[in-house]
Structure 1
Amino acid sequence: MIRTLLVTGDGKTHSGDASLIEQWQQDPESHIWIDLQGETQEHERELLEYFDCHPMAINDAHRERHPPKIEEFETHTLIIYRGISAFDAELNYEPQQVAMFLGTRYLITLHPGMAMSIDRLFAGDGNTLLAKSPEFVALKIMYTSAGFYQDSLLEFENQLSDLEDELQDAGTDALMRRIIAYRSRLVKMRRIFNYHQGITQELIAYDYEHLPREEAETLHAINDVHERFERLYSLTQMYYDICGDLIDGYISISSHQLNITMRVLTVITAIFVPLTFIAGIYGMNFAYMPELEMRYGYFMVMGIMLGIGVALVWLFRRKGWF
């Protein structure tokens, strides 16, 4: 699917398909945004070559799961961004690669499936931003996408708080598996946000021809995107640490409960060891054992065993062992 948004030099907005490219060429003051969703690589390459995009940039855009990056070429700047097509409060998300070719008067976006941020801009203020410059559209795409990430992460904070309460009340292995799964997803998301944070740091630190820092409005938009990705990275790191603390806490509680159980079993064993020893002596089959001929020997031995047991129980309770 090809969607095109054109803003002419006199401020008029047109939406349609690839047929608007000819109108854009005839108006040197116009700006165009071409969005390619799910198109074949041959068709995409043909269009990008028509806009004189560098072959290396095209190859990078077509590489599957290319790390997010920004790179400047002679006629355009390439931004590879890891967007999302779906995301929920359970941190289940479907990422997708979005490649943006940013030129002086055009923006071309490539993505295999639905991109929530691009759809919102096409239905919203994309034409207003495009009228200023295509760079504002590219920055807004990243800013809006980061907003979707942020909304779901903040919802996950409530989920994590409830999970923490459940773990303290009655921790189970099922809860632990959920926490470990969350932690694994947070690691992947933190890696993505680190890449995106690096892109905005480069935009702040270096001059890109198609994203000029000397323009106050452009620099402000770059800073907004950077601050949002910085916050996302901080949130994922914080939630990762909380999940780690919950895992450590659960292991500590389980170890403590196991220690209590083992201490009780040890006390029981310590009580019965001397009793078993006495019973073992009198269980030996010797013909000549003087104690066997005592009339009240049985009662004496049982009394001694009972006294030893009671004394050990009193001693252990005094020491607070159970």
Structure 2
Amino acid sequence: MTICAFDIMPDRTDVASGDAPPEHGYRWVHFDLGDADLAGFLEAHVPSIPAAALSAPETRPRSDAFGDGLILNLRGVNMNADGPADRMVAVRMWVTAQLVVTVRVRRVFALDAMRVEAEQGKAPSTPMAFVNSLATRLMGRVQDTVFDLSERVDAMEDSVQDDDQPLPTELAEERRMAIRMRRYLAPQRDALVALVGTNSPLMAQGTRDLLREQANLAKLAVEELEGLIARMTAVQDHHTAQAALLQGHNGYVLSIVAAVFLPLGFVTGLFGVNVAGMPGLEAPWAFAALCASLAVMTVLAVWVLRRLKWI
């Protein structure tokens, strides 16, 4: 059973009825990939190659002309409760002059909004206007997500100004999010650019101009994500360098302390052996003399280290 099906005509939008799309207008049919009726519908109404693209379990963004139609796959930000935003949702599409078929795996809120508009009689007037409306909604949510991520990266960079601040705990996850989003948006950018350049008769000049703007937004989103990844890497490198510097300084201080006390430890260890023949065992001034010798050795060790420019 379809999620929804509408006959969209110049003067009105009706729930689809009958097997044939309207003579003046187009039919939009929306399926879930797990729908038992999907295979039969595709066999009856869609050529085999686009049908295989619509029913593929895994997809990547693409835009390919096939006969008199277009095979389109687009990605959008995941707004469902089943995962993070960067687990992007996919929309598979087959677009002709009289038929638009969309297939989803997880709920796509942009398509839900278009469904509400269709129920209100406000559906896009042409198939390519439908594609542009969907691409605009998907890229709008992508832009919002990228901008939110950019603000969080700005806050992380502010922590670099204070060397006492620890490494942000969310840095690794935010960087993984940016990398995963770029993985899908880079081919989406290419798909939208290819769509703008297609010679399909479906593409009117006005729609081409609107889709070119969405392609530009995809380019900007990819460039921003690449910049964010580099900035987060710089934040990570800064904190790593600060930690290494602090560790090196602490190790240096411990080495200087060890260098000063090493000869003192040797002397006290030597005089600490409890055997006959040790000098000063019977002399009352021997302990004071030993302490004075240790003080002189300490001063001498510090002087030598300063001469060597170790301190």
- The 8 Å contact of residues 87 and 152 in structure 1, kept in 2 or not, is answered as no
Residues 160 and 91 (structure 1 numbering): CA distance in 2 closer, same or farther, change over 3 Å? farther
Is 2:88 aligned against 1:105?
Answer: no
Does the residue aligned with 1:113 lie in a helix, a strand or coil?
coil
* More moved, 285-294 vs 249-258: 285-294
Q: Supply the distance in 1 between the matched residues of 2:285 and 2:47 (Cα, whole angstroms).
A: 107
Is 2:7 aligned against 1:13?
Answer: no
Structure 1 residue 273, shift from structure 2 partner:
0.4
Q: Supply the distance in 2 between the matched residues of 1:320 and 1:129 (Cα, whole angstroms).
A: 80
Identity of aligned residues (%): 16
Match of 2:26 in 1: 31
- The 8 Å contact of residues 163 and 242 in structure 2, kept in 1 or not, is answered as no
Match of 1:84 in 2: 77
For 2:192, which of 182, 186, 200 is the aligned residue?
200
- The 8 Å contact of residues 271 and 312 in structure 1, kept in 2 or not, is answered as yes
TM-score after normalising by structure 2: 0.85
Q: Which residue identity does 2:43 align to in structure 1?
A: E
Match of 2:249 in 1: 260
* More moved, 30-39 vs 53-62: 30-39
Q: Which residue identity does 2:105 align to in structure 1?
A: P
For 1:130, which of 124, 132, 141 is the aligned residue?
124
Does the residue aligned with 1:86 lie in a helix, a strand or coil?
coil
For 2:48, which of 40, 55, 72 is the aligned residue?
55
Name the count of aligned residue pairs.
Answer: 307
Q: Supply the distance in 2 between the matched residues of 1:139 and 1:319 (Cα, whole angstroms).
A: 73
Q: Which residue identity does 1:184 align to in structure 2?
A: R
Is 2:136 aligned against 1:121?
Answer: no
Residues 74 and 218 (structure 1 numbering): CA distance in 2 closer, same or farther, change over 3 Å? same
- The 8 Å contact of residues 107 and 138 in structure 1, kept in 2 or not, is answered as no
* More moved, 229-238 vs 310-319: 310-319
Q: Give runs of ≥4 in structure 1 deviating > 6 Å.
A: 317-322
Match of 1:272 in 2: 261
Does the residue aligned with 2:200 lie in a helix, a strand or coil?
coil
Q: Supply the distance in 2 between the matched residues of 1:86 and 1:199 (Cα, whole angstroms).
A: 22
- The 8 Å contact of residues 156 and 235 in structure 2, kept in 1 or not, is answered as no
Does the residue aligned with 1:306 lie in a helix, a strand or coil?
helix
For 2:231, which of 233, 237, 242 is the aligned residue?
242
Q: Supply the distance in 2 between the matched residues of 1:246 and 1:318 (Cα, whole angstroms).
A: 39
Q: Supply the distance in 1 between the matched residues of 2:71 and 2:190 (Cα, whole angstroms).
A: 15
Q: Which residue identity does 1:15 align to in structure 2?
A: D
Does the residue aligned with 2:73 lie in a helix, a strand or coil?
strand
- The 8 Å contact of residues 35 and 109 in structure 1, kept in 2 or not, is answered as yes
Structure 1 residue 75, shift from structure 2 partner:
3.7
Q: Which residue identity does 2:214 align to in structure 1?
A: V
Does the residue aligned with 2:88 lie in a helix, a strand or coil?
strand
TM-score after normalising by structure 1: 0.82
CA deviation profile, 1:239-272 (whole Å, cap 9, x unmatched): 1112111111111111111112111211211111
* More moved, 263-272 vs 216-225: 216-225
Q: Supply the distance in 1 between the matched residues of 2:165 and 2:58 (Cα, whole angstroms).
A: 38
Q: Supply the distance in 1 between the matched residues of 2:77 and 2:298 (Cα, whole angstroms).
A: 69
| RMSD value, Cα | 3.1
Structure 1: give runs of 5+ residues left out of the alignment: none
Aligned positions of 1:143-292 closer than 5 A: 143-166=136-159, 168=162, 170-172=164-166, 175-176=168-169, 178-210=170-202, 212=203, 215-284=204-273, 287-289=276-278
Does the residue aligned with 1:97 lie in a helix, a strand or coil?
strand
Q: Which residue identity does 2:26 align to in structure 1?
A: H
Q: Supply the distance in 2 between the matched residues of 1:105 and 1:319 (Cα, whole angstroms).
A: 87
Does the residue aligned with 2:191 lie in a helix, a strand or coil?
helix
